C-alpha cells in the first residue's frame, strides 16, 4: 500500500486568484525517495505542504483521489492532520533557525515531538532525545540538547530539526529544500543522514530546485513547472535522457566544468539543448589591475583573513571559494576599501588603495564596484530603479581618474547633467536586458533575477575596471542563475572588466573563473588555474570540498 497516493491534485488560493498546483498525481511507497524539482513558483512546496495539511488559510484543495496512510484525506479536519504530522510524516524545512523555537532548547523541542505523540514514557524522554541527537550525528548530544537554536551552527541546527522530525519515527519524511542554505560539505553530511534514514525503510519526499542534490539521493524525480508535472521518471533516466524540453533546459543551466565557455541559458530544439559559445574574452597579462599582498583582517581578537595575496589582470576572473566563515566576504570588503587591513596592502591600477585616507580613495571608487548576494539590501528602500542606477553617476565625480574618462565633469565634484544621466540609465538597463520602463518601478516589484540585473546595471554605470561579485547568484533559481552568469560573461567580454567572483558553489566557480583561491579559516590553502585546482587538487581541504559536491550531472545526450 502506498503511503501517499494522490491523483489530480489542485490547490488554489482563490483570494489571491492563483492556482498553484494544477493537476498533480503522485504516489510514494514505503522506503522510496521521491524528489520534486522545480523553480520558485512552480508549486513544489505547496504540493509538499498539502500532503500534511499545511496549505494555509484560504486555500482550496481538490483531488480525484487523496489518500494518506490508506485513509481518505479529503475529509480531514485540523485534528486529523495534527495527529498525522510528526507521527506519519516528519517535516524538515529549509530554514532551521525559523523552524526551531528561539525560546526553547533543542532538547525541549525534540522532547515536545515525543510528548505530542506519546511515543515513549515521560521518564524515558530525556534519554530518547539524546539518542535521537546522537543518531543524526550531533556531537556531544548532552551539551547540545541544552542549547538554543541560535547557539548551533547551520548544519547542527538542520540536524536537530531532522531529529525532531524523526522523533516519532514516522514512515515518511518531507524535506523542503533541506540543504539549500548550507555549505557544500555540510550539505553532503545532511544528504548522507537522509540517505541513512531511507536505508532503514523510511520514505522520503525531497523538494529542491537543485538537480544535483536530488540526483545524489532520489529514486524517482518529478520535474514541476507552473503547477504541473512536466516529466517524471527514474532519476538516472531523467538526468541522462530527459524527455521534456524544460528538463533539458534545467540540466543545461547547471554550471560546471563542462559548461565553461558556453552559454548556460540554452534553447532546447529538436530534443537537444544547444550549447552556444560565449563571446571570446582576452586577458591582458601585462599589468595587474588589482594586487593584494599579505592581507590580514582582525575582528576583535579573531583573525578572519590571514596573509592573503593575489593579483587580478584586466579581463580576468578570479574565483574565491570556501565555506561560510572562511573569510571570503571579508576579502571582498578589504578589496573594496570598506575595511582597512590590519596588515598588507591593496593596489588598484598600481596605486595604493588601502592604508590611505578615504578622501584619497573617493575619486577612484568608480573604478571598482560590487554586486552582492542580496540586491534588495543594497538598494535604498526609497529609490526607484532609475534613481538607483543613476546614483553612481551623480554626486561623486564619475570617472575622474579613469582611463576612459566621463563625458562630463571629469575631475570636478559635480555629477553629469540630468538629461545625460537619463539616457545613460536607459542604455544601462538595455544592456542588462531590462525594458526601459522598469526605470520607474520600485525594485520590490521585480523578481529576484530582475533585481540582480538592476544591481549589475548600477555597478556598470561608472564603467569600472574591477567588479567584485559576492555570491551574486546564490539566491537565484538555476535557470535565472544561468541568465545572470551569461550576462556577466558577455559584459566581461565586451568591456574587459576584471572580476573577483566569490561563491560557495564550486560548479559556478569552475564555470566562470580563470584562476581560483580556495579559502579556509581566513587562509588561502590552494590557488591556481581553475582546471588544475579542481581536477588535480593538492590540498586535502580542496579534495574534501570537491568530494562533497553531489555527483555531477551530465547535460543531455
Decide whether 25 or 523 has the Cβ nearer to another protein: 25
How many residues in total does the chain contain?
Answer: 557
Residue 375: CB minimum distance to another protein, A: 9
Stretch in the footprint of another protein (CB under 8 A) among 74-82, 142-150, 195-203, 479-487: 74-82
Residue 454: CB minimum distance to another protein, A: 12
| Residue 291 β-bridge partners | 311, 347
Q: Is 97 in the site for another protein (CB under 8 A)?
A: no
Residues 392-411 that bind another protein (CB under 8 A): 392, 395-397
> Strands 523-529 and 203-208: what pairing?
unpaired
Q: Is 85 in the site for another protein (CB under 8 A)?
A: yes
Decide whether 266 or 372 has the Cβ nearer to another protein: 372
Residue 127 C-alpha cell reads as 534519554
Decide whether 238 or 425 has the Cβ nearer to another protein: 425
Residue 17 C-alpha cell reads as 486568484
Query: 246, 313, 379, 534: which one contacts another protein (CB under 8 A)?
Result: 379
Residues 318-377 that bind another protein (CB under 8 A): 336-338, 358, 361-366, 368-370, 372, 374, 377
Q: Is 44 in the site for another protein (CB under 8 A)?
A: no
Decide whether 38 or 255 has the Cβ nearer to another protein: 38
Residue 158: CB minimum distance to another protein, A: 16
Ramachandran class of 181: left when φ > 0, alpha when ψ lies in -120 to 50, beta otherwise: alpha
How far apart (Å, rounded) are the C-alpha atoms in residues 49 and 84? 13
Residue 525: CB minimum distance to another protein, A: 28
Backbone angles phi, psi at 437, to 5 degrees: -75, -10
Ramachandran class of 70: left when φ > 0, alpha when ψ lies in -120 to 50, beta otherwise: left
Q: Is 534 in the site for another protein (CB under 8 A)?
A: no
Residue 551: CB minimum distance to another protein, A: 31
Q: How far is CA 334 from the centre of its chain?
A: 23
Decide whether 141 or 409 has the Cβ nearer to another protein: 409
Please identify which residue in the block is written with the cell numbers 529576484. 448
Closest CA to 399 of 389, 387, 390, 408: 408
Backbone angles phi, psi at 294, to 5 degrees: 55, 35
Decide whether 122 or 413 has the Cβ nearer to another protein: 413
Q: How many CB atoms lie within 10 A of CB 469?
A: 27
In sequence order, what are the residues at sequence separation of 6 or more whose Cβ sits closer than 8 angstroms to the Cβ of residue 281?
Answer: 315, 489, 492, 493, 496
Query: 42, 67, 94, 99: which one contacts another protein (CB under 8 A)?
Result: 99
Q: How many CB atoms lie within 10 A of CB 77?
A: 8
Residue 430: CB minimum distance to another protein, A: 21
- DSSP letter for 169, please: -
Residues that bind another protein (rule: CB under 8 A) add up to a total of: 53
Binding residues for another protein, per CB under 8 A? 8, 49-50, 53-57, 59-64, 73-78, 81-82, 85, 91, 93, 99, 336-338, 358, 361-366, 368-370, 372, 374, 377-382, 391-392, 395-397, 462
Amino acid at each position: 500500500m502506498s503511503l501517499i497516493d494522490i491523483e489530480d491534485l489542485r490547490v488554489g488560493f482563490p483570494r489571491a486568484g492563483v492556482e498553484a498546483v494544477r493537476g498533480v498525481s503522485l504516489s510514494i511507497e514505503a522506503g522510496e525517495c521521491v524528489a520534486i524539482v522545480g523553480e520558485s513558483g512552480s508549486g513544489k512546496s505547496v504540493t509538499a505542504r498539502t500532503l500534511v495539511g499545511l496549505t494555509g488559510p484560504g486555500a482550496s484543495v481538490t483531488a480525484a483521489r487523496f489518500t494518506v496512510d490508506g485513509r481518505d484525506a479529503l475529509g480531514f479536519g485540523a485534528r486529523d492532520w495534527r495527529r498525522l504530522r510528526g507521527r506519519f510524516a516528519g517535516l524538515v524545512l529549509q530554514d532551521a533557525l525559523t523552524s526551531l523555537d528561539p525560546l526553547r532548547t533543542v532538547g525541549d523541542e525534540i522532547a515536545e515531538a515525543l510528548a505530542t505523540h506519546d511515543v515513549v514514557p515521560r521518564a524515558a524522554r530525556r534519554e530518547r532525545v539524546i539518542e535521537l541527537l546522537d543518531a543524526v550525528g550531533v556531537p556531544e548530544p548532552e551539551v547540545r540538547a541544552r542549547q538554543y537554536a541560535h547557539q548551533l551552527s547551520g548544519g547542527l541546527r538542520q540536524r536537530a530539526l531532522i531529529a525532531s522530525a524523526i522523533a516519532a519515527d514516522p514512515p515518511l519524511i518531507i524535506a523542503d529544500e533541506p540543504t539549500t542554505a548550507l555549505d557544500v560539505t555540510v550539505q553532503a553530511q545532511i544528504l548522507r543522514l537522509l540517505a541513512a534514514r531511507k536505508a532503514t525503510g523510511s520514505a522520503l519526499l525531497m523538494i529542491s530546485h537543485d538537480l544535483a542534490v536530488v540526483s545524489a539521493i532520489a529514486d524517482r524525480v518529478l520535474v514541476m513547472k507552473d503547477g504541473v508535472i512536466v516529466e517524471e521518471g527514474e532519476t538516472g533516466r531523467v538526468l541522462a535522457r530527459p524527455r521534456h524540453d524544460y528538463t533539458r533546459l534545467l540540466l543545461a543551466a547547471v554550471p560546471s566544468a563542462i559548461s565553461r565557455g558556453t552559454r548556460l541559458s540554452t534553447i532546447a530544439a529538436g530534443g537537444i539543448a544547444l550549447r552556444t559559445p560565449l563571446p571570446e574574452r582576452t586577458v591582458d597579462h601585462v599589468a595587474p589591475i588589482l594586487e593584494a599582498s599579505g592581507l590580514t583582517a582582525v575582528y576583535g581578537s579573531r583573525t578572519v583573513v590571514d596573509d592573503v595575496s593575489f593579483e587580478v589582470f584586466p579581463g580576468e576572473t578570479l574565483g574565491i571559494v570556501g565555506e561560510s566563515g572562511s573569510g571570503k566576504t571579508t576579502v571582498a570588503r578589504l578589496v573594496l576599501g570598506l575595511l582597512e587591513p590590519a596588515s598588507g596592502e591593496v593596489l588598484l591600477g598600481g596605486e595604493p588603495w588601502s592604508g590611505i585616507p578615504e578622501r584619497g580613495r573617493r575619486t577612484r571608487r568608480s573604478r571598482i564596484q560590487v554586486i552582492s548576494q542580496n540586491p534588495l539590501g543594497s538598494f535604498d528602500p526609497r529609490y526607484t530603479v532609475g534613481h538607483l542606477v543613476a546614483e553612481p553617476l551623480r554626486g561623486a565625480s564619475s570617472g575622474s581618474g579613469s582611463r576612459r574618462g566621463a563625458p562630463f565633469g571629469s575631475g570636478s565634484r559635480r555629477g553629469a547633467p540630468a538629461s545625460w544621466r537619463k539616457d545613460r540609465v536607459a542604455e544601462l538597463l538595455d544592456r542588462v536586458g531590462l525594458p526601459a520602463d522598469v526605470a520607474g518601478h520600485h525594485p520590490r516589484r521585480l523578481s529576484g533575477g530582475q533585481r540582480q540585473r538592476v544591481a549589475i546595471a548600477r555597478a556598470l554605470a561608472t564603467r569600472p575596471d574591477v567588479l567584485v561579485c559576492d555570491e551574486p547568484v546564490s539566491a537565484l533559481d538555476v535557470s535565472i542563475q544561468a541568465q545572470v552568469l551569461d550576462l556577466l560573461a558577455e559584459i566581461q567580454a565586451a568591456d574587459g572588466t576584471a572580476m573577483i567572483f566569490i561563491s560557495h558553489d564550486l560548479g559556478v566557480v569552475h564555470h566562470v573563473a580563470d584562476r581560483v583561491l580556495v579559502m579556509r579559516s581566513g587562509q588561502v590553502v590552494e590557488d591556481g588555474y581553475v582546471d588544475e585546482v579542481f581536477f588535480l587538487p593538492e590540498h586535502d581541504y580542496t579534495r574534501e570540498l570537491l568530494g562533497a559536491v553531489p555527483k555531477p550531472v551530465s547535460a543531455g545526450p
